[in-house]
Amino acid sequence: MSVSTGAHDLMEHWLSHVTAIRGQSDKTIDAYRRDVSGYLGFLTNYKGNSLGKSALTAITIIDMRAWMAHERRRGIAARSLARSLSAVKSFYRWLSETHGLEVTSVLATRAPKFKVGLPHPVASNDAKTMIKTASFQSTEAWVSARDTAVLTLLYGCGLRISEALDLTFRQTPLPEVLKIRGKGNKERIVPVIPAARAAVAEYLHLSPHIHEPDTPLFLGVRGKRLNPRQIQKVMEQVRLQLGLPSSATPHALRHSFATHLLEAGGDLRTIQELLGHASLSTTQTYTAVDQARLMEVYKKAHPKGS
């Protein structure tokens, strides 16, 4: 869908403001741009005219519902639509603050309801077996050591795969604590377990590539930054060999990190800090996972549970 020049310029000014003030990551800014561009493109076609500030102010709740209905007909899930609406509201708040526009109709629009999915962690024994099995997926010793090191960081330190692959050679040998820059450029301190430090050291010992201080720590066979898809493929092979469900992904190891800390008595605030969650409510989903597991054990073990 085409977007009028006036609306496009306003959006870009807003994105520049968000980047400068909030320090959002490139991925977040790209997502905002896609969401708001889609919304503006729909309005341009729906209204049949160019969208300037006055036209954006004239948007009604009926217009908003028409956009949301259009998105649903396109197959957009309720969760994704709620995210898009959040971006649109952020754009309109900026219009209100910087241009004095009346945006009540947009801000009053309710997001679609959706069920929050629970994380799918891998059992502790399965997580360890997966990491061990990953080392057998390549005939090249350095590649096996690399994959083992990445997965150990995901499970042992709760890193996102993007965070593990963003590490540079300058950060080695890995210290006892790492400063990680996560979503929204938020920094957090993460303890590095001895097993993770040892796995990375073994990978570097075997790696045939020359590592410069600012080059990525984890490299592919051609010496370029390792593609996350490669780690995902290794996990796919491993879970097929072990008969594990499709939910056993690299990100599931991060879920496992959080769930197993909670099971061991870790408090939510600490786990929130270790994971880099902006909101405690995000971390609290792990308590639901733990409760669901306990109920499953209860039903199987209690004489009157079945």
Distance between CA 137 and CA 241 in Å, rounded? 10
Q: Say if residue 245 is preceded by a cis peptide, omega within 30 of 0.
A: no
Distance between CA 306 and CA 300 in Å, rounded? 7
> Which of 92, 146, 160, 239 is an active site residue?
160
Report yes or no: 250 and 187 within 8 Å, Cβ to Cβ.
no
Helix orientation angle between 26-47 and 78-99, rounded to the nearest 10 degrees: 90
Residues in the chain: 306
Q: Which helix (H) or strand (E) holds 108?
A: none
Is 277 labeled as catalytic in the residue annotation? yes
Is 205 labeled as catalytic in the residue annotation? no
Is 254 labeled as catalytic in the residue annotation? yes
Is 251 labeled as catalytic in the residue annotation? yes
> Which of 83, 128, 251, 293 is an active site residue?
251
Report yes or no: 234 and 134 within 8 Å, Cβ to Cβ.
yes
Distance between CA 188 and CA 260 in Å, rounded? 20
User: Which residue has 């957009």 as its token pair?
Assistant: 76
> Which of 8, 183, 211, 293 is an active site residue?
183
**DSSP characters for 82-98?**
HHHHHHHHHHHHHHHHH
> Which of 146, 197, 239, 277 is an active site residue?
277
> Which of 197, 239, 254, 255 is an active site residue?
254
Active site residues: 160, 183, 251, 254, 277, 286
